[in-house]
Structure 1
Amino acid sequence: MKEKLMPVFVLAAAVGLFTTCKEETEDPNLKMGYEYFPLEQGRVWVYAVDTIVYDPAVGGTAVDSVRVYFRDEVLDSIAAEDGEVQYRVDRQIGNSDAGPWAPHNVYYLSRNDRNAYLTEDNLRFNKLIFPLQPGKKWNGTGAFEEFKEVEIAGERLEMFKGWESRTAPVIPSLVLDNLAFENVQPVQVADYEAIIERRYGLEYYAPNAGLIYRELWILDSQCQVCCNGDLGACDGLPWRDKAEKGFIFRQQLIIN
């Protein structure tokens, strides 16, 4: 499966022996990028979601795949004590893009002048920073412990180990199935790899659409199934071949 104001900065300028104040505005050509994280009640996104789960099993690794659909709708907003407005998003799940839909979970979206946030399962993620430009880096998971364990198919993983967000060059045009987008901003949320761990995350944001694509690889291996514990033989093998627990997740916007 979540506004376009140009801020004005007032600067003090010294002139000769006297001090005066004047107003200066930011370069009007510098867009903040708020349209990449639209927030409004009633907005609906429908996503196709594909997941591959790796689960330790007797004699090997069980690999299961499933496709479901998310329907995310912004229901209402809540003002926090600090003045930040959080938008409550109701996520429903179904086996087709037309439903029927069943309740799945609730998450929250919020944004201020400099940051865009997603809060889910009591974890707050800094998804974007403004002005939104290629080449920026930030800690998107700084609000919680990097080595926090998450349970996947009964197995515990340090899902957020090595995460660091960065913006990549803008993609001028992108087509996802039947939807076409312009000026798509990629955000790499993770790219960490060791012989026995892989953490990779990529998200695409589009103007006035928000999140249009998300991909996560959260995989661990002890190299037992593929290589009898031989790390040398394990090193360099594709993760699809050596993963023993974790998941690969893809979420793609299909109705906006």
Structure 2
Amino acid sequence: MVKYGAFVLFYLSIVWIVSSCSSSTVEPDAARLGYTYFPLEEKSFAIYEVEETIYSLTSTPVTRNYQIKEVIAEQFRDLSNEEAFKVMRYSRQNTTADWELDSVWVAKRTANRAIRTENNRSFVKLIFPVEESQKWNGNVLNELGADEYEFSQVAKPFTIANQPYTSTATVMQVNDSSACNMKRVYEVYAQDIGLIYKEKILVDYRQTNNICEGLGDIQAGVQLYQKLLNYGKE
């Protein structure tokens, strides 16, 4: 009986060692691959302050200030049979107003990319591993033309309204400006938080006798600045 008991203990020890080694090799290094820049956890939320200005040929510029709250809701299997999460998006005009449901988006993270479906259109927001100067087509999953995204400032600090974030990654989505227009869109992601900042400037400058007047005299377009205010778990 003693020998049998010793054998069982020895066998269980071997099984435990093998299973431990297997799990450590199978489990991905989330921080090293950059998964932590796109965390998905039920009931986690993020609140953003948004300033949006619309420029038009026929009217004066209109600026709207409002807040957006995103809540990661229940997990489900999408049409690709992959795990995804509903993202409940709420909006309000100010801190004293009630939140109102704006839309429902979808987010998922696979082994090699992070995807958000916004208003029924899917975008590849990140690819993994997150590495400096990596490029990819952010529109590969939708009907829009190819749009080259690129990582920059990976694992660098970023500050919003005196709030520092120690490790972030910037995704430049559009960066094509001239004397006649400015096209710049980028997002900043922080480890263990996700999106913390978005800037979208798509404007055309006024022309006189077919000559562009350049910066400062916007004829048409949109400017949007989205900043993280708060985040946590409900």
Shorter-chain TM-score range:
0.7 to 0.9
Match of 1:250 in 2: 225
Match status 1:231 vs 2:207: no
In structure 2, relative to structure 1, the CA distance for the partners of 1:95 and 1:106 (3 Å cut) is same
Deviation at 1:44, TM superposition (A): 0.6
**3-state SS of 1:62 partner:** coil
Aligned 1:1-256 pairs, distance under 5 A:
8=26, 31-57=32-58, 61-97=59-95, 99-146=97-144, 163-170=147-154, 172-177=156-161, 179-220=163-204, 223-224=206-207, 227=208, 230-232=209-211, 234=212, 237-238=214-215, 240-241=216-217, 243-256=218-231
Calculate the aligned-residue CA RMSD, in Å: 2.6
Of Structure 1 and Structure 2, which has the larger fraction of its residues in helix?
Answer: 2
Deviations 1:21-75 (A, max 9, x none): xxxx99x798101010000110110000001110121xxx521112100111112
In structure 2, relative to structure 1, the CA distance for the partners of 1:134 and 1:123 (3 Å cut) is same
Alignment gaps of 5+ in structure 2: 1-22
Match of 1:158 in 2: none
Deviation at 1:142, TM superposition (A): 2.2
In structure 2, relative to structure 1, the CA distance for the partners of 1:177 and 1:88 (3 Å cut) is same
Q: Distance in 2 between matches of 1:30 and 1:71?
A: 26
TM value normalised by structure 2: 0.80
The percent identity for this pair of structures is: 24
The letter of the residue matching 1:110 is: K
Deviation at 1:170, TM superposition (A): 2.5
TM value normalised by structure 1: 0.73
Say which one has the larger Rg. Answer: 2
Q: Distance in 2 between matches of 1:72 and 1:197?
A: 32
Q: Distance in 2 between matches of 1:217 and 1:7?
A: 44
In structure 2, relative to structure 1, the CA distance for the partners of 1:119 and 1:200 (3 Å cut) is same
Q: Distance in 2 between matches of 1:41 and 1:173?
A: 27
Aligned pairs, number: 209
**3-state SS of 1:39 partner:** coil
In structure 2, relative to structure 1, the CA distance for the partners of 1:7 and 1:106 (3 Å cut) is farther
Deviation at 1:178, TM superposition (A): 5.3
Q: Distance in 1 between matches of 2:40 and 2:30?
A: 23
Moved over 6 A (4+): none
Alignment gaps of 5+ in structure 1: 9-24, 148-161
The letter of the residue matching 2:46 is: W
